[in-house]
Structure 1
Amino acid sequence: MPKPYTIRLFVPDGEPSTLKIIDKMNWTGIGLEISRDAWTKHKTRKELEQAGIYILIGYQDGNDLPIIYVGQGDGIKSRIESHERNKEFWDKVLVFVSSNGGLNRAHITWLEWALIQKAISVDRCKLDNNATPTEPILTESEKADTQEFLNEILSILPLVEVRVFEEAKKINISIQAKPQKKNILNTIIVPAQEEGFKKVFLGENSWYAIRIGGGKLKDIKYIAAYQTAPISAVTHYAEIESIEPYGDGGKYKLNFVNSAKEITPIKLGNAKKGILQSARYTTYEKLHSAKDITELFN
């Protein structure tokens, strides 16, 4: 059963985007979140001289999913210094050390292994680690203690907006179970370039990296694809089976019940260019009656 807990965040220099000290009641660890821009200023902190685990986090152009690198070291500072010179993707680092010096090399190697395995199984990020370490051998009691330390890290990460180690909770959609009233904005229209349309919309029966307002999640039942130029028309739609968080930036993945179905193309017509540069909502009825894009959103 989940337990209530308290997290304390301390911002030493009054700038929460540069450095946070993360503490949890009744925990033998301590966490730091340091932005890359502030690394030079804060790299002399004594916590960074200890043995511990760290996570580099960032994005690269063209990638919807965050990129992470999980590492460990007897002295974390030198490892992050090296990554500051050699890895371009990250814009912040999360560091976790023991507040009482209780982590040794075997413990931090196990934590590194466990976090990498978790990231692989959850599949909400791009992992920058080239090699996956093998699970180190710990005594039964050591493993139990280190697992508990890991559990504490995992409970903290979502509170500093890091969800790549958290299982995505699907919202299951059932169209037949509760028929909706007519004229509800229950259909999301997404722009799709040729490659993504063929590979993902048709090939994977899904569409992802969509930003959906929380208030719309309960209404969305269908998805339709607007194929960009030279086609410039809505050509296919699908029923949605489930919606799940995608990556770490408030976006979603929509999974289809079956393969997308072709419809009579709803062409751009006299609509303004750029009207479908991002996702928009319409009704199921308009999707099947509109002759052009203007009617679809009128």
Structure 2
Amino acid sequence: MLWNKEERYTHLPYENEAELESAVNEVKSQLFGSKRIYLDDKKKIGKRGKTNNLPDGYLIDLTNQKDPKVFVVENDLTSHQHLKHIAVQILEFSLSFEASKVKVKNVIKEMLQKRQVEWRKCELFAKENGFENVDYLLESIIHKPDSFNALLIIDELGEELETVLISRFRFPVETVTLKRFKSDKGDILYDFEPFLNDLSEDTEKVNITDIDTIVVPAREDGFNEVFIGEDCWYAIRLNSSMIPMIKYIAAYQVAPISAITHIAEVKSIDQYKDTNKYILTFTDPAEKVKKVSIGKIKGKAPQSPRYSSKERILKAKSLDEVF
């Protein structure tokens, strides 16, 4: 329940996937932001006689000027689907995508051509970032290696499902939870975290194309025993689509030190045991750097993993310049 002195909102479950899809369309501008384009036309992909699928939509992500992406979208209800079904559906999407990249590009292009505002947004992005036109932009996104990305939008994400998505696939699978509430007056309220919200917070100052470092908060005992003693850091939550960008890890030692003090090159990023978290193993022992302490903005102290760049950290005089 959500409550204040004026109103009470109670959870309103979706009766079917169509209601969830309608909700996604209603909140898409806030859910995805201005640099992403959500296309919800249902078009079959795959080759005749092989795996064919009907994705619920596509999300064109133009936040990274050097590496724009396309996410194949699946909308699902946990109450209606078994974990195995969701995992199989995403796997089949990846097989159909890889088998019919020309068709995928044409399907997305046709969707964009029906939407003048979205088409113009892609035209501007292409012009500003060295792509000849929208056709070439889509060609570059879809035909590059490891181009498949999945986005699961669901009403409730359990730890078991999140763990399955990490352990079963070698391609990125991002997740968004979208819940619905209704007031006694009949007003609707949606509860969600914007797509890649933690990344958006860090890119207010740091261009996403420059990100190569994850900054993690560390208490003294964990820092000494693990970061320094074991040359790794584990039980970290990460956005799977960001993993290829992470080349370094920086340790922010919490109070009383309250500063970034060490950086290590990342050798590998793997699932941590049988959980929905990751372990980062270092190439070499972490190197001590000039302390980057809290500046005037106290809220910049990381409470959870944050994204930045090694260059920015080494140049920074305070955390205000890191995030």
TM-score category of the 2 structures, normalised to the smaller one:
0.3 to 0.5
TM-score by length of 2: 0.37
TM-score by length of 1: 0.40
Of Structure 1 and Structure 2, the greater helix share is in: 2
Greater C-alpha radius of gyration: 1
